[in-house]
Every structure is written in structure tokens, then in C-alpha cells.
């Protein structure tokens, strides 16, 4: 059984100084970097919006495709990433889940690679991490979220999202359990 690390939207606009900053978003970079060598496959999603997206009726302008804000955090060892999945790419969709990527089909790709278990990290816990984790369990993958490797926007919403994900069968693990 193969495992993969999936890094959700660790992009400049979600880090302090960015257009839709997640508090402490950059603090997960060393955690994610430290996990990369423990997985045979390292995957990442990018929020990748067109400027005219309906998404910006609900959110400040962020992660516009091909802009600096949509680039990975400069501290991320992005050269270790095997494949990048672009989501939220259409004017009419939000694309919160990595399974909504349009440049590659994530589910198909994981099946091709024989991946049955995912370890999720990234931003933001109650939006794109949540949506990706719930999609993954519903598609039959075993899903673990690395607690130190995620950050959210609002602590009440994060708590609710964690309860919901636990109910749906998402497993929560500590970075320390994976470090040995
Ligand atoms: C996200 C809000 C808007 C996320 C993306 O990556 O969690 N959140 N777009
Ligand atoms: Zn977005």
C-alpha cells in the first residue's frame, strides 16, 4: 500500500503579508519540509483563480494564477514536489477541494500510483484542507491530517471542521508520530 503527502495551498497569499493571510500560515513550512523525505510521493495543490472568478464575491482577491501571491511560500522545498494540482481555475467555481483540480485528475492519479493513504498538510484547515479531506474519505482513501502541519483562519470554524472531519472518518496524527 502506497502513501502520499498532499500539501494544500501553501502559497504566499495565504501566509502573513498575503492577500488572504492565515494566522501563522508560514509556521507550517518547516513541518511540511520535514515530512517530505518520509513519503515516496509528494503532491501539492495550488489555488489558481482567474481574476474574474465568482469566488471573489466571497473573498478578497487572492491567488490569481501566475502572480507572486499564487506562488508557493519561498521556504517550501517545492523542488521535492512530484506533481501540482491546480484548482479554482474556472470563473464559475470556488474549487476548494484538490479533487476539483482541472490540470490533472487527482483521484485518477492516486489510483494509477497505487496510493491508498493520504497525509494532508496546508492551508486553510476549515476550507481547502477540509474540502480535500472529506472528498478523499468519500472516495475511499484513508486520510490523515498532520495537526502541526495545518493552520486555519477562524478558531471556532476550525473546531467545527475538525469535529466534522472526525465524524466522517478523517484521522488526526501528530508530526512527532511520523518523525521517527
Ligand atoms: C482557500 C479561501 C479561499 C483555502 C482558498 O485554500 O483554504 N480559502 N480560497
Ligand atoms: Zn481561493
Ligand 1 atom index nearest CA of 94: 9
Block residue for cell numbers 495565504 = 14
Q: Which domain, by its residues, includes 59?
A: 3-179
The CATH number assigned to the domain holding 68 equals 3.40.50.850
Among the listed residues 104, 64, 68, 52, the one whose alpha carbon sits nearest the alpha carbon of residue 83: 104
Q: Which pLDDT score is estimated for 1?
A: 67
Residue whose Cα lies nearest atom 2 of ligand 1: it is: 127
Q: Which pLDDT score is estimated for 147?
A: 97
- What's the gap in Å between 95 CA and the centre of ligand 2? 7
Tell me the pLDDT of the chain (180 aa) as tens digits: 699 999 999 999 999 999 999 999 999 999 999 999 999 999 999 999 999 999 999 999 999 999 999 999 999 999 999 999 999 999 998 999 999 999 999 999 999 999 999 999 999 999 999 999 999 999 999 999 999 999 999 999 999 999 999 999 999 999 999 866
Ligand 1 atom index nearest CA of 124: 7
Number of domains comprising the chain: 1
Return the DSSP state at 150.
Answer: E
Return the DSSP state at 11.
Answer: B
Give the ligand whose atoms come closest to the C-alpha of residue 130.
1
**CB under 8 Å, gap of 24 or more: what pairs does 172-176 form?**
172/144, 172/145, 172/147, 173/119, 173/144, 173/145, 173/146, 173/147, 174/146, 174/147, 174/148, 175/31, 175/34, 175/35, 175/146, 175/147, 175/148, 175/149
Q: Which pLDDT score is estimated for 128?
A: 98
- What's the gap in Å between 96 CA and the centre of ligand 1? 6
Q: Which pLDDT score is estimated for 180?
A: 63
Catalytic residue positions?
9, 87, 128
The set of cell numbers assigned to 155 is 478558531
The set of cell numbers assigned to 157 is 470554524
The set of cell numbers assigned to 139 is 472516495
Amino acid at each position: 500500500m502506497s502513501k502520499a503527502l498532499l500539501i494544500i495551498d501553501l502559497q504566499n497569499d495565504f501566509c502573513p503579508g498575503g492577500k488572504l493571510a492565515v494566522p501563522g500560515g508560514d509556521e507550517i513550512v518547516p513541518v511540511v519540509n520535514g515530512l517530505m523525505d518520509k513519503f515516496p510521493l509528494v503532491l501539492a495543490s495550488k489555488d489558481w483563480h482567474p481574476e474574474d472568478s465568482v469566488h471573489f464575491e466571497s473573498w478578497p482577491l487572492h491567488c490569481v494564477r501566475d502572480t507572486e501571491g499564487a506562488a508557493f511560500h519561498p521556504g517550501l522545498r517545492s523542488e521535492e514536489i512530484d506533481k501540482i494540482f491546480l484548482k479554482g481555475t474556472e470563473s464559475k467555481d470556488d474549487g476548494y477541494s484538490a479533487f476539483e483540480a482541472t490540470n490533472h485528475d487527482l483521484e485518477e492519479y492516486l489510483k494509477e500510483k497505487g496510493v491508498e493513504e493520504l497525509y494532508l498538510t496546508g492551508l486553510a484547515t476549515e476550507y481547502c484542507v477540509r474540502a480535500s479531506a472529506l472528498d478523499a474519505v468519500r472516495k475511499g482513501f484513508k486520510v490523515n491530517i498532520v495537526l502541526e502541519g495545518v493552520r486555519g483562519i477562524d478558531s471556532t470554524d476550525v473546531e467545527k471542521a475538525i469535529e466534522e472531519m472526525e465524524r466522517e472518518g478523517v484521522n488526526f496524527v501528530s508530526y512527532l508520530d511520523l518523525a521517527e
